[in-house]
Amino acid sequence: MEAMISLAWKTLRHRKAGFAGAFVALFCAAALVTACGMLLETGLRGALAPERYAGAPVIVAGDQFERRVVDKGEGETKVKAKALSELRWIPENLAAGLAAAPGVEKVVTEVTFPAGDALGHGWESAALTPFTLKSGRAPEKAGEVVVDASFRGESFTASGRTYRVVGVTHQALPSQRTVFFSTAEARRLAGRPGLVSAIGVFPQVPVTVKGAIAYTGDERGAVEFRDGDNARIKLISMGGAMGGTSLLVAILVVVGTFALSIQQRQRELALLRAVAATPRQIRRMLGGEALAVSAMAGVLGAGAGIMLGFWLRGRFVALGAMPDNLHLVLSPFPMAAALLATVAAAWAAARVSARRTSKIRPVEALGEAALEKPGLPVGRLIAGLVVLAGSVVLTILLTTLDTEAAAGPVTMLTALAWTLAVSLLAPLIARAVTALPLRGPGAGGYLAARNLRAGTKRMSSVITPLSLMIAMTCTILFVQTTLGAAAHDQAVAGVKAETVLGPGASATAAREVPGVRAVTEVLRTSVRVDLERYGAQAVTPRGLDQTMDLGVVAGSMASFGEKSVALSTKAAGWFGVAVGDRLALTLGDGTPAELTVAAVYTRGMGFGELTLPHALVSKHVDDPRGTLLVAGGDRAALSEAGPLLSPAGNSSSGGAAVNYVAMGLIIAFCAIAVVNTLAMSTSARSREMALLRLVGTTRRQVLGMLRQETAGAVLVSVVLGTLISAITLSAASLGMTGSLMPSVPPLGYLGVIAGVAALALAATAIPARLALREHPAEAIGGRE
């Protein structure tokens, strides 16, 4: 045992270039897993520090979760809770009861509402931060405001009215701009008579309030930043999906890297078998090498993963996917998990890759190293066929998933499963391709064709990362374009209005413009049905037929009123309801509602899975400012009523950019794997290139041979990767959009192929040119 470990260390010292590839793959794997683990742990344990409520020791507010008792069977029950998307307000008269509680010295009521590009409050709630005046005085009249220190100017405009700035505070919050109105004006603008968003209690004493919850510490941040819980849920799902995908990709890449490394050492391992090294000793040596390399790569990669995690957080904050005051949770668990996963993957990869070599009988060892055996080992062939069958099953399953949340992870898993099948069966694919009578021009083409036929194992090891990169890149990029195009097409087809006005536009002003036939007010929100969240829109029914066409296939929007709901065909199937049925749901702030299904429509991706009455929803959202669809009227005149948008402007989503950033790391890892594999493969052929030079082959012919070999591998990989992504994207598109044809921008696809080809050629040419600088005799004499 000690002798084999000593030999493992010696081989590491004397084969630095060969193990550099494995180190790079493991380093990147550890960094990715660590970063994903940090996101996941932040979603599970992260806390939001309060800003606006930092000065109040206790905040009394509504329960920000929708809770439901679920029967687990056998008399057992459990309470399930889901975060609300809108703030649940509480009665203002609760303040009197709190003020009378023992130990309470002061209570402060608070209302929060959107005011221009800031959040508006009544001046009486300034003590919750606390805000203090730097200059001026408190607002006393309806037309006066106090602004925070970040504002400039002598006036402020909100809700179509201009207010005079009468005071400026010392403070400004980092995550929100703040404007204070007089108490009466704040209550009017909030539009919730008799309700408040929160009540501050001074000092911190135990208080109990029926119909509300007392929040202390960082719990106050969850009330102030209601998107924080949603962000944490996104981090959990994103971190889990990214981590799982990264780990699967890492295992595939690491196995391929070790297989290539061991393949390049066939002569060395054959010699060890010939001098009586046992299979167990060979496996121990290779396992020891893998453990040594993976331990070093895992530790360094985990450290780099921390920096990667902070970079990801910065991008998500910039894209609005998480609030700035939701800080990453730092603990040893993600790094330990990354190190363990890296070491386990490397050890398993080395043992699996060495299994066939270590079993060769000593008398056959050198012959096995000198000549490739045709065909595949029976175990690998069976595994390849099993994974191929599993890929077919996953593809069929993907066609049945009609929500992005359910289909997203399965889409990545399907692409990976097909790539794994290609990886396992790659030698057969390479042998079939090289059997074709294909040959490039000149001596380089002749040499390339002969090399590809003689070295199918080498070609198969190159095909795997190239196919993986093309398949994953196309899948990640074009699943987003497919969903975006479907939503855009439905929105364009369904918006009949000639003009769309953005948030803050006045419906009254728009209706007064000459020539306007109809104005539809539209709000975007979400609701819950049986605790599951669904995207919804709220519309004003009057004149809806002139501004919007939802593609109704059952019922009629003519009967749509204040107690009605219209559903997409998908939603109707999910809920098992039809026209005339009653549907119980919960609005964004937790208010229950039971509505009658008036219509079923087809354009759910463009307009939301549910359509609700505007009058009902506007009272239960944090920001009642939506868009206006205007039929008729002059666009120039309408622009005075609010900002102009494109007809499909309400169908866009910022989630695609977040997905691109998150999954882009997987693409980067695949790119590194491509460079790594090709550089390893080319560097290991320095002896071969030196022999070619000695027998009269020119540098140009050698480089031409390598370019044509790489071009052949790229061509095969393009076909395989494109086929994998086409199957995966078609299945995902069929499930989510109903169309078998995904939306793939031609220039985008050509850009992916060109990028992969350029990367592959560069990864081949650079190490080849470095190897060719050395004199052929010295190259042969200095290497095995």
Task: Render the burial of 201-232: b for 16+ CB within 10 Å, e for the rest.
Answer: bbeeeebebeebbbbeeebbbbbbbbbbbbbb
774 pLDDT tier (thresholds 50, 70, 90)? low
C-beta atoms surrounding 419 within 10 Å: 30
**Per-residue pLDDT tens for 412-431?**
899 989 998 988 888 888 77
Q: What are phi and psi of 156, to 5 degrees?
A: -140, 135
- What pLDDT score was predicted for residue 781? 55
250 pLDDT tier (thresholds 50, 70, 90)? confident
- What pLDDT score was predicted for residue 353? 66
- What pLDDT score was predicted for residue 446? 60
Q: Are 509 and 591 in contact (CB under 8 A)?
A: no
- What pLDDT score was predicted for residue 450? 64
SS3 179: strand
pLDDT at residue 649 above 60? no
Sign of the alpha-carbon torsion through 218, 223, 225, 229: positive
- What pLDDT score was predicted for residue 651? 45
440 pLDDT tier (thresholds 50, 70, 90)? low
pLDDT at residue 13 above 70? no
652 pLDDT tier (thresholds 50, 70, 90)? very low
- What pLDDT score was predicted for residue 451? 62
Percentage of the chain with pLDDT > 70? 85
**Per-residue pLDDT tens for 712-739?**
888 889 999 999 999 999 999 999 988 8
C-beta atoms surrounding 255 within 10 Å: 22
Q: Which of 293-297, 397-401, 703-707, 777-781 has the lowest mean pLDDT?
A: 777-781
Angle at 88 between CA 86 and CA 91, to 5 degrees: 150
Once rounded to an integer, what is the mean pLDDT over residues 624-650? 82
C-beta atoms surrounding 29 within 10 Å: 30
**Per-residue pLDDT tens for 500-540?**
998 878 888 899 999 999 999 999 999 999 888 999 999 99
- Alpha-carbon dihedral of residues 602, 627, 480, 750, nearest 10 degrees? 110
| Bigger pLDDT: 53 vs 49 | 53
Mean per-residue pLDDT over the chain, rounded: 83
Q: Which of 165-179, 330-344, 391-405, 690-704 has the lowest mean pLDDT?
A: 690-704
pTM: 0.80
- Name residue 83's beta-bridge partners: 65
d(CA 28, CA 298): 9
d(CA 670, CA 468): 7
**Per-residue pLDDT tens for 150-206?**
998 888 988 778 999 999 999 999 888 999 999 999 999 998 999 999 999 999 888
d(CA 352, CA 383): 13
| Bigger pLDDT: 354 vs 26 | 26
650 pLDDT tier (thresholds 50, 70, 90)? very low
**Per-residue pLDDT tens for 597-608?**
999 999 999 999
Residue ranges covered by each domain of the chain: 1-44+233-371, 58-228, 373-486+654-784, 496-647
- For residue 576, with 0-12 CB atoms within 10 Å meaning exposed, 13-18 middle and 19 or more buried, which class applies? exposed
- What pLDDT score was predicted for residue 1? 45
Residue 5, token pair as written in the block:
């470990």
Q: What are phi and psi of 537, to 5 degrees?
A: -125, 155
| Bigger pLDDT: 683 vs 747 | 747
pLDDT at residue 7 above 70? no
d(CA 41, CA 326): 12
Residue 485, token pair as written in the block:
């195009």
95: left (phi over 0), alpha (psi -120 to 50) or beta: alpha
Q: CB-based contacts of 548: which residues, under 8 Å, 6+ apart? A: 494, 495, 496, 497, 520, 539, 607, 629
4 pLDDT tier (thresholds 50, 70, 90)? very low
Percentage of the chain with pLDDT > 90? 38
Q: Which of 91-100, 232-241, 344-353 has the highest mean pLDDT?
A: 91-100
Tell me the residue ranges of DSSP E strands in 123-249: 133-136, 144-147, 155-158, 161-169, 178-181, 195-196, 198-202, 213-215
- What pLDDT score was predicted for residue 266? 66
- Identify which of 122, 166, 119, 125 has the alpha carbon closest to the alpha carbon of residue 144: 166
- What pLDDT score was predicted for residue 506? 85
Once rounded to an integer, what is the mean pLDDT over residues 279-293? 75
- What pLDDT score was predicted for residue 445? 60
Once rounded to an integer, what is the mean pLDDT over residues 334-351? 84
Angle at 39 between CA 33 and CA 44, to 5 degrees: 120
Once rounded to an integer, what is the mean pLDDT over residues 20-46? 85
pLDDT at residue 73 above 80? no
pLDDT at residue 544 above 90? yes
- What pLDDT score was predicted for residue 784? 43
